[in-house]
Structure 1
Amino acid sequence: LGYMVGTGNMPLNRHPGIVLYVQSPNAAPAELVTSIDEFLNAFYMVLLELNDYQWHSSKRGLWNQIATPDTTLRGRAQRLWVAIGNKDTEFNQREKVLAELKKLTRADMIRFVVNELKPRTANRLVMHSQGQAHVDAPRIHLGQEIGSIEEFQLRPKDCGLG
């Protein structure tokens, strides 16, 4: 489907967040959104099928990713500036997230996926670009389309994003 597919940690406004991304030269944005929805609709089943070792191994992998110390001065400076921007004056957001991750159960995660990620009404920001190869492909009809960075920057108060 895509040559670049993945997930990542994406804090937003002092709240931990998740980003799902797919980049594809073959599929139009509407098809990619449909595929992401199909993945999210089936993801809770994957969580149900994990054994304890697999669940804890996944948590440990995420823990290691979050807890990894800064390897460069530039990386540290970037993390600290983000903390300042997020009003994390104690510079301890990472530790808070790790404390919550430690308490997270598989049931909590399944509940989160079913109640927050799975529904089409989930609180999402979908960013896409429709290339020349897909000019005639169906458009995405989700929420409110914002056509430019400038328009997006004017919206936070309107849409509850800020």
Structure 2
Amino acid sequence: MSTTQSERLRGLLEPLVAAKDLDLEEIEVSRAGRRGMLRVIVDSEEGVELDLCAELSREISALLDESDVMGEGEYVLEVSSPGADRPLTEHRHYVRNTGRLAKLTLTDGDELVARVLAVDDEGLDLEVPGVKGRKPTARRVAFADIAKARVELEFSRKDKHDEHDENDENDEKEEEA
């Protein structure tokens, strides 16, 4: 994709996405056979629901139909939220993932899997899980020392929010009894 097309797409789509209180994370244009493919990735502090992606897709489609930014050829439009395996590249990505486990590759080549406890302008406060029954340890990592970062999926971890919901259900059952 040419820089000019990328800039034109971002200029066209950013106001529409921002009006929905979303961040325009990425615009990707590629070819799929004879058709073009336009992938628009959006996110927010609360995440993005499927209905909002569908609504935004319709609005983006209408806006693109009025514009010549995609040219004359056919293209497929895909509007989605970032996947769980998306790299953490912006400050807001780390903030949104506070409390989650992340895999960091440091600039010195070391790899670290740790829970993000807090984020400020300079870096991250992490909790590194203990090995073989040892207690977790605290660690501070500056943004300048992070080469790559990505959220690690946890299938068995209960969030505090989930525990609260479970307690509410138990309280309701006790009240009914």
Do both share a fold (TM > 0.5)?
A: no
TM score, norm. by length of structure 1: 0.28
> Which structure shows the higher strand fraction?
2
TM score, norm. by length of structure 2: 0.26
With CA pairs under 8 Å and 6+ residues apart, which has the higher RCO, 1 or 2? 1
